[in-house]
């Protein structure tokens, strides 16, 4: 009994530590600028206001930034998962020559730190005339995600029983049919987990958006939040409010796919 | 056979997905032309780093006013200051760069001119005869061309709260000895006399280095040192740190952990006595506290050294690859007029002073005092990074932060600084 209580107390403290920074941001987001400036960020709130949310929404043009983010994130997630699942299907279910090498090669690309690719990518995107477009950003995200997603999906698909595929072949289904009617539905938990994960990654990306996009009105939400920081002085309360707003889509996706997410992780981990 | 057909269908499905994906952002982006380009329509793009709420609104007003005058239409594109700083070289070297940029006068602009990236705006200066000599030399590249159009400047000073100074019974010091005495008095009241904020903003310490150096060794020595013609192990540089050590015990020990914005709050709350900072800090002060704020000039150390002050100058330069050089120059000429600068100064935070001597600065006692101090100075310096380069600033941050921690290791710190600076100068040459 004592052990149980001890466990709960300890875990409560740990969870509180985990949640505290987020709570702090939420608290700051409701404070007025003069309160923050006079009492410092760390003090207890002396004011309560919703105006920070209004100014984050209007001044940072957060609505447009969120739309931009979704315009990039949704196609990028669908496209990269679609392509990765096709690649993983081929590599996992058919004896393609050098398939191990291909897979490792794709994964190797992910081991490179993205920073060393910044300049080549910005120059290349400019060369093909797609600099400062959302299409370029989608392409970059798809390209970078593909290796890892294929690797994960490959591991998952390889473990699906051989008999299912054989039965489908006997019933007259070709590789395409088997992919769309048999393998893909069975891969759903992994796809959902990866979908939630890649949504967060792409939505929260800052590096690539500032590399390939130059116009303020095309910036996704992360650089728009950075734009709330002035050259010298920043209204942290407005930034906090903007951050809270920007967190809503990712939290929503996570809540929606939570079950799959945890399940998918376990499936991938224990073979 | 069926396999083949199914294969093709999957392929088509994939293509459809691809098409849909490219179409969606296509809709969103096709309504507006890209931020740059479109020279044929006479549109100029202005890339601005003034992203804070007030400054951004002031820029929008400024651009709207110019667009009403006819001529090329200017399109303002505001990017977060931090993104702008890191991406500026990329913008300038890209094949289709934005036309006009907000940036800083002095060495930092010249470093781009040396790489032949900036438009020669000598003809714009024909209409700027009334600008001060200091502004002219700040806007001239090492090749002798005018490359920059200054529009405003601000100043640095030792800021304090009038009510607190009255409460502690101290008056603003003029000389170093008086300054040390004031520090002693404030400390005896249990308040750390000198505020500073170095967490996240380590460059604030450079103000101390700059000021001590220009007070002890003079502005010409300071500039040479920052341009790589001196040596940080020079005994004259060491003298700067010896002087600094005299007041080191009076620094706020908490200052290393928070950024300057928090240090401003500490000053306003009376938790520190004074704060060496640029006027931009006023943006982070509650409006009711502003009337109680005053400053004094950094104390004079050696009366024989001509007085220099730090007055960072902001303005604009243009890319060498502008599509419409005449339109760009017309816009820059307009930016140099007192009317344009008044629009900006009035709508921005109010502590900036127009670069054009005919421009009107805010009519507050604080701004008048600051303007008088700068106009009375024999020499003007910018700031560490602006007098050297953005690449040299981190070497200063590392050295000064270390000095504040371990002042007795000064010889080793200066040797390390020299080695780091040498690398920067070699890479730049």
Look at A37 and B17 and tell me if their CB atoms are within 8 Å.
Answer: no
Q: Is A21 within a domain?
A: no
Residue B240 in contact with residue B216, Cβ under 8 Å?
Answer: yes
The label of the residue with tokens 């080793």 reads: B412
Q: Which of residues 284-313 of B touch A (CB under 8 A)?
A: 284-289
Asked whether residue B184 falls in the same domain as residue B96, the answer is no
In a domain, B9, yes or no: no
Nearest one of B326, B264, B404 to B71, comparing CA atoms: B326
Report chain A residues whose CB lies below 8 A from the CB of B24.
Answer: 71, 74-75
Most B-contacting residue of A59, A73, A230 (CB-CB within 10 A), to test interface: A230
Taking the CA of residue A111 and the nearest CA in chain B, the distance in Å comes to 24
Residue B360, burial from CB neighbour count under 10 angstroms (0-12, 13-18, 19+): middle
Listed residue (A119, A106, A185, A112) closest to A146, CA to CA = A106
* Of residues B82, B258, B280, nearest to A229 (C-beta): B82
Q: Is residue B8 a part of any domain in this protein?
A: no
Same domain, B173 and B252: yes
Residue B2 lies in a domain: no
3 state SS of A252? helix
pLDDT value for B51: 82
pLDDT at site A267? 56
First CA to last CA across chain B, in angstroms? 67
Q: Does residue B346 lie in a domain region?
A: yes
Whether residues B25 and B160 fall in one domain: no
Question: Per the domain annotation, does A126 fall within a domain?
Answer: yes
| A255 lies in some domain | no
* Domain span at B412: 156-310+391-428
Q: Cβ of B17 and A218 within 8 Å?
A: no
Within its chain, how far is the Cα of A159 from the centroid? 26
Model pLDDT, residue B259: 87
For residue A261, tell me if it sits in a domain. no
Say if B253 falls within a structural domain. yes
The total of structural domains in chain A comes to: 1
Is A199 among the domain residues? Answer: yes
For B93, nearest residue in chain A (alpha carbons): A123
How far apart CA B261 and CA A233 sit, in angstroms, is 7
| B383 domain-assigned | no
CATH number, residue A194: 1.10.3720.10
Query: Are both B65 and B180 inside the same structural domain?
Result: no
Q: How many CB pairs below 8 A link A and B? A: 177
Contact of B35 with chain A, judged by CB distance below 8 Å, is answered with: yes
Per residue of chain B (429 residues), give pLDDT as tens.
333 333 444 433 443 443 333 333 333 333 333 334 333 457 899 999 988 778 888 899 999 999 998 778 999 998 888 888 888 988 998 888 999 999 999 888 988 998 899 999 999 999 998 998 888 988 999 899 999 999 999 999 999 999 999 999 999 999 999 999 999 999 999 999 999 999 888 999 999 999 999 999 999 999 999 988 999 999 999 999 999 999 999 999 999 888 888 898 899 889 999 999 999 888 778 878 888 999 999 999 999 999 999 999 999 999 999 989 999 999 999 999 999 999 998 887 778 899 998 988 887 888 999 999 998 898 899 999 999 888 899 999 999 999 999 999 999 999 999 999 999 888 865
- CATH code for the domain of B420: 3.40.190.10
Question: The pTM is what?
Answer: 0.78
Q: Is residue B385 part of a domain?
A: no
Which pLDDT score, from 0 to 100, does residue A254 have? Answer: 86
B26 in reach of chain A (CB within 8 A): yes
Which residue ranges of chain A lie beneath pLDDT 50?
A: 269-271
Q: How far apart are CA B381 and CA B357, in angstroms?
A: 18
Nearest alpha carbon to residue B317 among B72, B156, B111, B129? B111
Helix axis angle for A236-269 and A62-93, nearest 10°, is 10
- The interface predicted TM-score (ipTM) is 0.72
- Measured between beta carbons, the chain A residues lying within 8 angstroms of B17 are 78-79, 82
User: Residues in chain A, how many?
Assistant: 271
Number of domains making up chain B: 2
Pairing of strands B156-161, B149-153: unpaired
At a CB cut-off of 8 Å and minimum separation 6, what does B8 contact?
Answer: A176
Distance from CA of A160 to the nearest CA of B (A): 21
State whether B118 and B71 are in the same domain. yes
pLDDT of residue B290: 82
**pLDDT recorded at residue B199:** 85
What is the model's pLDDT at position A229? 79
In this complex, the residue of B21, B49, B281 whose CB is nearest that of residue A138 is B21
Residue ranges making up the domain that contains A162: 61-231
Closest residue to B51, CB basis, from A33, A177, A227: A227
Q: What is the pLDDT of residue B29?
A: 33
Tell if the CB–CB gap between A126 and B94 is shorter than 8 Å: yes
**CB-based contact B51 A126, cutoff 8 Å:** no
CA distances (Å), origin B176, targets A15, A132, B218: 53, 54, 16
User: Residue B403 in contact with residue B241, Cβ under 8 Å?
Assistant: yes
CA gap A219, A242 in Å, rounded: 15
Do B91 and A214 lie within an 8 Å CB cutoff?
A: yes
Alpha helices in B348-409 (DSSP H): 365-376, 384-387, 393-405
Contact of B155 with chain A, judged by CB distance below 8 Å, is answered with no
Planar angle of CA A127, A132, A133, nearest 5 degrees = 100
Buried b / exposed e along A174-197 (16+ C-beta atoms within 10 A): bbbbbbbebbbeebebbbbbbbbb
Out of B10, B21, B289, name the one closest to residue A75 (CB): B21
A257 inside domain: no
A114 in a domain, yes or no? yes
What pLDDT is attached to residue B9?
41
Same domain as B396, residue B287: yes
SS in 3 state form for A150-217? HHHHHHHHHCCCHHHHHHHHHCCCCHHHHHHHHHHHHCHHHHHHHHHHHHHHHHCCCHHHHHHCCCHH
Any residues with CB less than 8 A from the CB of A119 and at least 6 apart, and which? B90
Note whether B189 and B241 are same-domain residues: yes
Cross-chain residue pair B29–A134, CB shorter than 8 Å: yes
Element (H, E) at B337: none
Q: Tokens standing for A129?
A: 């005339």
Whether B257 maps to a domain, the answer reads: yes
pLDDT computed for residue B412 by the predictor: 95
């Amino acid at each position: 009994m004592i052990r149980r209580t001890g466990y709960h107390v300890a875990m409560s403290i740990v969870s509180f530590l985990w949640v505290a920074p987020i709570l702090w941001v939420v608290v700051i987001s409701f404070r007025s600028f003069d309160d923050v400036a006079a009492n410092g960020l760390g003090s207890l709130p002396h004011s309560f206001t919703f105006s920070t949310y209004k100014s984050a929404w209007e001044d940072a043009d957060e609505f447009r930034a969120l739309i931009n983010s979704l315009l990039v994130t949704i196609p990028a997630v669908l496209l990269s998962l679609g392509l990765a699942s096709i690649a993983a299907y081929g590599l996992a279910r058919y004896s393609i020559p050098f398939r191990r090498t291909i897979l490792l090669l794709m994964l190797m690309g992910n081991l490179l730190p993205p920073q060393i690719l910044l300049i080549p990518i910005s120059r290349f995107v400019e060369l093909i005339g797609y600099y400062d477009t959302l299409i370029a950003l989608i392409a970059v995200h798809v390209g970078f995600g593909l290796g890892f997603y294929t690797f994960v999906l490959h591991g998952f698909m390889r473990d699906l029983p051989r008999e299912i595929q054989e039965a489908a072949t006997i019933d007259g289904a070709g590789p395409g049919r088997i992919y769309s009617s048999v393998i893909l539905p069975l891969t759903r938990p992994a796809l959902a987990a990866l979908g939630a994960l890649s949504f967060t990654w792409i939505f929260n990306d800052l590096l690539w958006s500032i590399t390939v996009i130059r116009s303020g009105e095309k910036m996704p939400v992360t650089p728009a939040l950075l734009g709330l920081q002035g050259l010298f002085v920043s209204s942290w309360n407005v930034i906090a409010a903007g951050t809270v707003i920007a967190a809503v889509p990712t939290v929503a996706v996570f809540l929606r796919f939570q079950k799959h997410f945890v399940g998918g992780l376990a499936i991938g981990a224990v073979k | 056979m069926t396999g083949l057909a199914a294969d093709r269908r999957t392929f088509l499905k994939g293509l459809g997905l691809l098409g849909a994906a490219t179409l969606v952002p296509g809709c969103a982006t096709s309504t507006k032309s890209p931020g740059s380009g479109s020279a044929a329509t006479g549109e100029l793009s202005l890339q601005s780093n003034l992203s804070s709420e007030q400054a951004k609104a002031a820029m929008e007003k400024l651009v709207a006013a110019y667009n009403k005058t006819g001529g090329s239409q200017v399109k303002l594109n505001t990017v977060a200051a931090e993104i702008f700083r890191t991406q500026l070289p990329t913008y300038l070297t890209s094949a289709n760069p934005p036309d006009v940029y907000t940036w800083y006068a002095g060495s930092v602009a010249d470093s781009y001119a040396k790489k032949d990236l900036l438009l020669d705006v000598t003809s714009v200066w024909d209409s700027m005869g009334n600008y001060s000599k200091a502004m002219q030399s700040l806007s001239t590249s090492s090749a002798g061309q005018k490359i920059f159009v200054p529009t405003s400047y601000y100043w640095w000073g030792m800021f304090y709260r009038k009510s607190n100074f009255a409460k502690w019974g101290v008056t603003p010091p003029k000389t170093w000895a008086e300054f040390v005495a004031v520090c002693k008095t404030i400390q005896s009241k249990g308040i750390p006399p000198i505020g500073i904020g170095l967490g996240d903003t380590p460059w604030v310490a450079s103000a101390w280095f700059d000021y001590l150096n220009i007070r002890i060794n003079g502005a010409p020595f300071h500039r040479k040192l920052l341009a790589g013609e001196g040596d940080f192990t020079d005994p004259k540089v060491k003298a700067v740190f010896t002087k600094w050590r005299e007041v080191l015990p009076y620094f706020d020990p908490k200052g290393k952990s928070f950024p300057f914005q928090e240090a401003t709050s500490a000053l306003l709350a009376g938790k520190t006595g004074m704060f060496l900072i640029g006027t931009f800090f006023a943006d982070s002060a509650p409006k009711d506290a502003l009337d109680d704020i005053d400053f004094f000039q950094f104390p004079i150390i050696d009366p024989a050294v001509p007085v220099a002050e730090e007055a960072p100058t902001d303005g604009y330069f243009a890319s060498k690859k502008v599509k419409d050089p005449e339109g760009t120059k017309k816009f820059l000429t307009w930016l140099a007029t007192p009317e344009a600068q008044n629009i900006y100064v009035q709508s921005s935070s109010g502590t900036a002073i127009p670069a054009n001597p005919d421009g009107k600065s805010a009519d507050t006692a604080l701004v008048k005092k600051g303007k008088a101090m700068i106009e009375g100075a024999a020499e003007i310096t910018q700031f560490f990074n602006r007098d050297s380069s953005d690449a040299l600033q981190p070497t200063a941050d590392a050295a000064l932060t270390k000095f504040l921690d371990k002042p007795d290791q000064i010889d080793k710190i200066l040797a390390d600084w020299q080695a780091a600076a040498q690398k920067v100068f070699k890479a730049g040459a």
